Chain A
Amino acid sequence: MASVVYALTALLSAAVTTAGITGLLGVRWLTRIEWLVPLGGFELEMDPLAGLFVALVGAVAVATSIYAVGYAGRDRRGCVAHAAFIGAMALVPLAANVMTFVLAWELMSLASYVLVLDGARAGREASASTHAAWVYAVMTHAGLACMLAGMLLLTAWTGSPRFADWGAAAPALGAGARSLVWALLALGFAAKAGAVPLHVWLPLAHPAAPSHVSALMSAVMIKLGVYGLLRASFVWLAPAQVGWGVALLLVGALSAVAGVLYAVVDRDLKRLLAFSSIENVGIVFVGTGAAVAFAATGLPSLALLALVAALYHAVNHAAFKSLLFMAAGGVLHGTGTRDMELLGGLIKRQPWTATCFLVGAIAIAGLPPLNGFVSEWLIFQALLQNDLLSWPTMNLVFALAIAGLALAAGLAVACFVKAFGITFLALPRSEAAATAHDAAPTMRAAMLVTAAGCAALALGASWVVPALGAVGATLIAAPPPVTLGPWLTLEVSGDFATLSVPAVALALTGGVLLPIVLLAAARARPRPRRFETWSCGRLLQTARMEYTATAFADPFTRVFDFFYRPVRRLDVDLHPESRFFVRSIRYENPTRFIVDEWLYQPLGRVLRAATRHIGVIQSGSPNLYLAYVLAALLLLLLVA
């Protein structure tokens, strides 16, 4: 029954994707239903930027819906919420006035909250999962409050709730006023996107939700935060200011490094992917921040380049993150656990899931010839040209961003070696992993299509980049910074940098085939003999002797211990009769989350203290309440 709903959702999503692509290519339209919604009516407007994001929502939704047929097709719960979630996400980029936007945004948050809670109930750790849903709800609404405040301020100052009017009226407002509104909007959108330090809900909510929902949330929902930032910086509050760009750059670099550092030490497969989403959002923020900074300092061509790079990375991340979450769902479905310390050897039991995860891992690690490499390359090219700014402080900020991004890229490679290697390779570490079954046919189909999408986004860079350039040109007026050379080469800023992805892919294929051909020609291919792994002649070789996920991350825990601040706890339980015999030893060395400890826990303490003090008013005595009513009445009479 639920399968039918999911299949219908897939068809509708395909229609949405088509509509988005037509918008992307330049078809614009506007609809308005005055009576549906108060304070301005229900208004939708399609333009290239909206078309891009709508197409993105639709494309990922098609894949996850087909996936859900096999993954959750027998579970009636959540299929309608899933459809509502996709519908709301498709409406957000199209919204053309405040009420429509807020309604669509809230519907999206509500639907995803229901889905997170559903997934939590189906899962095992009920209390931890309700905590996840609660934190998600609080952070979403805190973000909404900031966003709404900013939008209402802008409505009051420009006199109209329609987004189209803001673009025209904004330059008249003072720089300080625009910065205030921008800050409020940015807080709201950054909280949705999951930038540090507003990211605390992401690693809780994404693992708790069912895998197809996690894929949607990570791939598309957090990109809508980026969409909001782009609209705010380039359309609603234009012209952009340098301070905004610097803020985005620094937040992005911080998110990228912090996200991947937490991902590297995590043992829960889906939480690792959630932290990796934070890293990639950081990378997109760096690109966006660079675009804003360049636009504000009079370098529109570079701004357009950075914007195109950021959009490209957003699209690529949607592709490979949804693939990774779907594959992780396949692992969870087949083994029943997400804990990497209990997995292993799955490449033999789940070959399809393993291959799809490998494609996703190569893509997200930014390795040629897949799409992650191309978009990170473009972002680096945009950042490396910051010399044209000739402003030493800005050069320093950009240098920090470059170094942070490079560190994040290197750590991402390490993270996904761990994720793929520990989960899929060597021997199974538990009974569940040893008896795993592979993904259902619809799940496989969805993953393979997404993997093909990743490859297409990489090999088709010569078409994707100009298309994104056309979208970006609607926000920043500049000549296209990337031209096409011979052999499908991308030429960035003239001859600053060049890349031909098909040539790289072809060269790699040739390079891999050449030794095979040469060895065959030299007849140097005796068949390998099978024998056990070399273990120094030890008689017993079990899965306990393999490297564990925690051990793999040990060098990082040591090098970055100022960031993780691990707390070493060692409890030795001695035999009561003799202190030379040890009964058990308990050793814990968990990493702590400094954002939680330094920001949210003190904030929570302050709030609780404040509510305790204010709570004195609620004494419970009816006489006191009547006195309050009297006092309020007198006050109103005096004021009126």
Chain B
Amino acid sequence: MTTALLLAVLQALVVALGAPLVVGTLRTLKARLVGRRGPVPWQPFLDLRKLLGKTPVVSDTTSWIFRATPYILAGAMLVAALAAPVLTSRPPLAFAGIILLMSLFLLGTFFLALAGLDAGSAFGGMGSSREVAVAALAEPTVMVAVFALALRANTTNLGAIVERVSAEPLLAVNAGHLLAFVAFFIVMLAETGRLPVDNPATHLELTMIHEAMVLEYSGRHLAMIEWASAMKLLVFLTLLANLFFPWGVPADVTAVALLLGLLALVGKLVVLVVALAALETAIAKLRLFRVPELLAGSFALGVLSVSAVVLLR
């Protein structure tokens, strides 16, 4: 009981503190790849600390939904952090499956979209409209990828999938599995607002999807939303790393095992972050109405992965 509680606290800390570090490292890498020195990898911590000290400005057209959304979003991401297999194969919320995780992300998107509409400006409405459209179109791919994984492991429980795939390590380099990984990677790009779906560093409102919804936020509200977005990215990357390639994820909860698990996760995350930085540097943002084509392509990959799993049994 106490070990479970300690594990929960530890996992929450790892995700909460690791998320800004991942985002900062990504920014530094992208800067280096275009020939700039770039910010230090822990810059997001400095940004968050500064934001906490600012007095928020709240619009008088908004309602309680605008003020409540940052907390709801942060809360949903914290629960998602506890439900993902980060440190051990069985997360603190041991019953969690992928569907619960994706629904928690949708909960956050729902409230963020409402907050975008609440401000009463055209920017917010546009951001909300685009964000929910991208999220809706990414859903079929998620479920088909889940189906592919569930077929292989005979369960949708995250911890059980990790344990079953790690019991047969060669399962991870199977064709169906790799196709599902690629499909899920594209979904990650769409859901976390990375290039080529959305440029997180853009200043042009007409090209924004996620940023446009948060244009009204300031101070500690903005800090919580930025932190929640960083946690979402980290949870997605952790899923990609630990769910599809669960090598080195410990099953038992001892100090040594946890440390090794953390090191393995960091190693996998480094590979993913470098790949993501390279991809974002080399690819331009897609026109907004080409994004459904990308998501349809990822859906096709998902269906292919299911067929591969079924046929190559």
Contacts and interface: CB of A to CB of B under 8 A. Distances in A.
Whether A and B touch (Cβ < 8 Å) is answered with: yes
Interface of A: 345, 347-348, 362, 365-368, 373, 377, 380-381, 384, 387, 392, 395, 399, 402-407, 409-411, 413-414, 416-418, 420-422, 424-427, 485, 487, 489, 495-500, 503-504, 507-516, 519, 522, 524-535, 541, 543, 545-547, 551-556, 558-559
Contact of B142 (A365, A406, A411, A528): A406
A380 B63 contact: no
B41 interface: no
A380 B157 CA distance: 13
B93 interface: yes
Contacts of A519: 52, 220
Q: Is the interface of B mostly helix, strand, loop or mixed?
A: helix
27 contacts: A347-B63, A362-B110, A368-B107, A384-B146, A384-B147, A384-B150, A387-B310, A403-B143, A403-B303, A405-B143, A406-B140, A421-B128, A424-B63, A495-B155, A496-B150, A508-B79, A529-B57, A529-B58, A530-B60, A531-B59, A535-B121, A545-B120, A545-B121, A545-B122, A546-B125, A555-B133, A559-B292
A281 B156 CA distance: 25
Contacts of B310: 387, 392, 395
A392 B292 CA distance: 29
Contact of B76 (A418, A421, A489, A508): A508
B136 A414 contact: yes
3 shortest A-B CB distances, which residue pairs?
A: A547-B125, A511-B75, A410-B139
A203 to B, nearest CB: 21
B262 interface: no
Contacts of A427: 61, 120
A552 B289 CA distance: 15
Given A367-B103, A417-B114, A516-B71, A425 B63 contact: yes
Contacts of B199: none
A420 B116 CA distance: 12
Given A498-B95, A515-B224, A407 B53 contact: no
B157 A503 contact: no
B18 interface: no
Contacts of B220: 519, 524-525
A507 B77 CA distance: 11
A417 B113 contact: yes
Contacts of B142: 406
A125 to B, nearest CB: 28
A511 B78 contact: yes
A585 B164 CA distance: 64
A373 B121 CA distance: 31
Contact of B93 (A421, A503, A554): A503
Interface residues of B, number: 84
B25 interface: no
Interface in B76-130: 76-79, 82, 93-95, 97, 99-100, 103-104, 106-107, 109-110, 113-114, 117-126, 128-130
Contacts of B107: 362, 367-368
Contacts of B200: none
B151 A531 contact: no
B65 to A, nearest CB: 7
A275 to B, nearest CB: 15
A555 B287 CA distance: 12
A395 B77 CA distance: 34
Contact of B215 (A387, A504, A534): A534
B73 to A, nearest CB: 9
Contacts of A392: 310
- The secondary structure that dominates the A interface is helix
Interface of B: 52-65, 67, 70-72, 74-79, 82, 93-95, 97, 99-100, 103-104, 106-107, 109-110, 113-114, 117-126, 128-130, 132-133, 135-140, 142-144, 146-147, 150-151, 154-157, 160, 215-216, 219-220, 224, 288-289, 292, 299, 303, 306, 310
B60 A531 contact: yes
B219 A406 contact: no
Given A512-B74, A531-B57, A559-B292, A547 B143 contact: no
B122 A547 contact: yes
Contacts of B288: 555
Given A381-B156, A387-B151, A417 B65 contact: no
Contacts of B216: 533-534
Contacts of A504: 79, 93, 100
B103 A368 contact: yes
Contacts of A406: 139-140, 142-144
A497 B103 contact: no
Contact of B129 (A528, A531, A555): A555
A533 B119 contact: yes
A497 to B, nearest CB: 5
B262 to A, nearest CB: 22
A377 to B, nearest CB: 6
B144 A511 contact: no
Nearest to B132: A414
A395 B151 CA distance: 11
B85 to A, nearest CB: 14
A407 B99 contact: no
Nearest to B77: A511
A541 B123 CA distance: 13
A552 B215 CA distance: 18
B61 A533 contact: yes
Contacts of A407: 136-137, 139-140
Nearest to B71: A512
Given A368-B107, A533-B119, 11 more contacts: A384-B146, A402-B144, A407-B140, A410-B140, A417-B132, A422-B117, A427-B120, A485-B95, A515-B71, A530-B58, A559-B292
A552 B303 CA distance: 30
Contacts of B292: 559
Contacts of B306: 399
Contacts of A513: 75
Contacts of A425: 62-63, 65, 114, 117-118, 120
Kindly name the residue among B54, B64, B139 whose own CB sees the greatest number of chain A CB atoms within 10 A.
B139
B121 A511 contact: no
B74 A426 contact: no
Contact of A551 (B53, B125, B155): B125
B204 to A, nearest CB: 13
A421 B113 contact: yes
B188 to A, nearest CB: 16
Contact of A426 (B103, B118, B132, B135): B118
Contacts of A348: 63
A424 B65 CA distance: 11
Contacts of A368: 100, 103-104, 107
